Structure 1
C-alpha cells in the first residue's frame, strides 16, 4: 500500500485504545474459568506472569515497527533478519493459523454467552455467527479507530463491573479460604493459556504507517496497552476466584456472568451482551488479519497465488476470507476453548522466538535506528518465549 494513500492521523490515545480493545476482545470473557481450573486461586499470578513474558517481545515489535513500517508485519521482520524467504513463508502461515485458532476460541466462547440470551444451541450459534462475521469480512468493514474505542470502552466497562461485583461478594470459595500451596505445573500451563489473552499488541504495529510520530507513539501505545490489559486481567481473575468456587468457575461457559450473578444476585444479560459484542469484534479482527496475511503470502509466493485474488465487487481477498472463515467455524465446532487458546499461544510464542531472533540479527548489521531498545531486550524476549514453551510442555506432561 503506497505511503501516498495513507494519512498519519492516529495519536497515542486512539492507538492505545485500539491495542487494549484487541487484547480485551481476545478472550478474557471466556478464559477466566479455564485459567482458574489450571492455576486455582493463583490465576491473577498467571495473568501477570503472562504479561511479563509478553513485555520484551512487545518492545522488540516496537523497534521493528519503526524500522519497517510495513503491512507484511512479522513476515517482513523475519525475512529481513534471516534473509530466508521460506522461513518468512512459514511464519506467515503460522500467523494465519494462529488467527484462525484465536478467532475460533473467541467464537466458541462468545457463542456460550449468546446462548444465554437467545434460545439456540451452541453449534447453531457458532455456525450462524461465524458465517455472518465472515460475510461482513468479505463485504469489507470501514471502521474508524474512534468506533473501535467505543467498543473498547464498553468491553472495559463490563470488566470493571465484574471486578466491582466480585470484590463486593463474600469470599465463598473454599479454595480461597484454604489458600492451598501453588501447584506450579498448573500455573505454568495457565501462563501459556493466559498469553492468549494478550494477543493483539502485535497488531498495533500494523498501524505504524498511519500513526503520527511513530518513533514516540508506537512504543508508548504498545507499553500502555500491555500494562492496562495486564492490570485489568489480574483484577478480573482476582475478583472471580474470590467470589466463585474454582470448580463452578472452571465449569461455566459464561464465567464472568457467573461472577456478576454471585456478587450481585442479579441477572447478567447485559454482561452477556457485552461479551458477545467483544467476541464479534475479536473474531472479525482475527479473520480480517489472517485473510490479509494469506493474501500477502499469495502475492509473495507462487504456490499460494490463488489467494492473492481480490473480488471485483467488494475489493477484498474473498477466497482467503472464505477459507479462514470456514476454518474458524470448523475449529470452533470441534475443539474446546482451552485447547484452541493453548494452541494459539504456542504458535505465537514460536513466532515471537523468530521475531526476537530476527531483531538480534538486524541489530548486528544495522545497529542504528530511529527507535532502539537495548540489545538485551530481544534476547530476553527470545529466552522468555522459549521458556514459556518449555513450561507449557512441563505443565502438559505433569
Structure 2
C-alpha cells in the first residue's frame, strides 16, 4: 500500500475529448476570438493611454504576442492535451507554476467573457436592457458549446465572415468616404510617453490573446504537431494585419482625442466619413465579433477549468466529459454561471485591464515553460522565450494601477485557496495512512498470539 494515497483516487483514466478540428477550424476559432475581443473595444482605452502612440503600442503588443504564440505552439506539440499553459506549467516547471497559469487564465478570461457579453449588449440592446441582453448572450452561447466543439467551430466561422465584412466597410469608409477627417496633423506619437505607450500595448495585448483558445483545444485538433503551430501563427498574423488597418483608419478619421472618448469608435468612423448607411452593418459586425469571441472564450475557459479539475486544483466534478457531446459540460456550465455574475457587476474598460493582467501572467509561465524544452521539442531559439517573458512582465507592471491591484488581490485569493486545499489533502493522506496502519496491526494481532 502506498504511504500517501490520493485523497480522491480516480475510478479510471479520464475520458478524452474527440479530435474533430482541422487547421481551418482552429484558425477560425483563434481569429474569431482575437477580432471580436479587441477590434471593437480596445482602441479607445489604448488611445486614452497613448494617443496616436497606440500604433507603437500595437507593434509592441504584436511582438510580445508573437513570442508567446511560438512558445504556446512549441509546448502544445509536446503536450497536446486540453488545458494549455496549465498543463505545460505543471509538466515543465511544477504544480505551483501550472496552478498560477491556470488561475490567471480562468480569472482573466472570465473577465474577458463578461467584457464581450457587455460589448454585445452595447451594440445590440435597447437602452436600459444592456445587462439582461448580456446575460442572455452568455446563456445562449454556453448552450451552443454544450452541444459539441464542431458546432462551436461552425458558428465561429459564420460570425467571422460577418466581422471581416464589417471591418472592410470601416476601412473603405475611412479611406474613401466624403466626410471630414482628422488626418495626421493632430498625431503626436510621443504624447503618452514611454509609460503610456507600454500601457496601450498592455491593453491591446487583450486583443491578441485569442490564440490561447487554440492551445486549450489541443486535445480536439487532428494531427496536433502540424495543426497547432500553423493555426496559432496563422491566426496571429491575420489578426495583426486587420488591427493595423483598422487602428490606422480610426486614427485618421477621428483623431486621438475623439477616438479615446468614443464608446463605439468604429460606428463613429463610418458616421464621420459620411457613410452613415453603413452603421447598421458595423453594429451587426460588432455584435457578431463579440459573440464569436464569447463563444470561443467560454470553450477555452471551460477546458482549462476541466484540466485544473483533472489535476486536483479545482473540484473533481468539473473534470466530467459529456458521454454524448464529448465536451466538459459541468465546467462550461460553471463558467457560464460565474460570467453571468461578473456581467452584473463590471464595466467593459475595467474588464479589459483585469483580463490583460491575468493573461500576461499566464503567458509568462508559458515562456518559462518553453525555455526548459530541449531536443526535438524545441522549434524556436531560447532568446524568443526570453523576450516574451520580459515583455509580459513589463506590460503587466505598466497596466492601469487599478487593474494591477485587482489582479494581485485575485491571485492572492487563488494562492490562499490552493494552500488550504493542500493542507486538507495532507491531513486526509495522514489520516488514511494512520487508519491503514491500525488496520494492519489489528489483523496481525491474533496471528501473533497463535
Q: If the TM-score is normalised by the length of the shorter chain, which range does it land in?
A: 0.7 to 0.9
| Shift of residue 369, structure 1, vs aligned partner | 1.6
TM-score normalized with structure 2 length:
0.77
For 1:154-303, list aligned pairs within 5 A. Answer: 154-169=162-177, 172=180, 176-182=184-190, 183-184=192-193, 185-208=195-218, 211=221, 214-267=224-277, 268-301=279-312
Q: 1:3 to 1:103 in 2, by over 3 A?
A: closer
Unaligned runs of 5+ in 1: none
* In 1: Cα distance, 2:106 partner to 2:78 partner: 23
Counterpart of 2:72 (choices 61, 66, 71) is 61
Which residue of structure 2 aligns with residue 121 of structure 1? 129
| Shift of residue 289, structure 1, vs aligned partner | 1.9
For 1:100-119, list aligned pairs within 5 A. Answer: 100-115=110-125, 118=126
Which residue of structure 1 aligns with residue 19 of structure 2? 6
1:188–1:395 Cα contact (<8 Å) kept: no
Q: 1:110 to 1:14 in 2, by over 3 A?
A: same
What per-residue deviation string (whole Å, max 9, x for no partner) do you get for residues 353-394 of structure 1? 111111222x3xxx2125511122211211111122233368
CA RMSD of aligned residues (A): 3.0
User: Secondary structure of the equivalent of 1:330?
Assistant: helix
* In 1: Cα distance, 2:75 partner to 2:352 partner: 26
Q: 1:213 to 1:288 in 2, by over 3 A?
A: closer
Q: 1:247 to 1:165 in 2, by over 3 A?
A: same
Q: 1:217 to 1:74 in 2, by over 3 A?
A: same
Which residue of structure 1 aligns with residue 424 of structure 2? none
Which residue of structure 2 aligns with residue 383 of structure 1? 390
User: Secondary structure of the equivalent of 1:43?
Assistant: helix
What per-residue deviation string (whole Å, max 9, x for no partner) do you get for residues 21-46 of structure 1? 22112121122222222222232222
* In 2: Cα distance, 1:33 partner to 1:14 partner: 30
Which residue of structure 2 aligns with residue 52 of structure 1? 63
Which has more radius of gyration? 2
What per-residue deviation string (whole Å, max 9, x for no partner) do you get for residues 290-334 of structure 1? 122222322321752243356689775454334322322332332
What per-residue deviation string (whole Å, max 9, x for no partner) do you get for residues 39-60 of structure 1? 2223222222211111111111
Q: 1:98 to 1:122 in 2, by over 3 A?
A: same
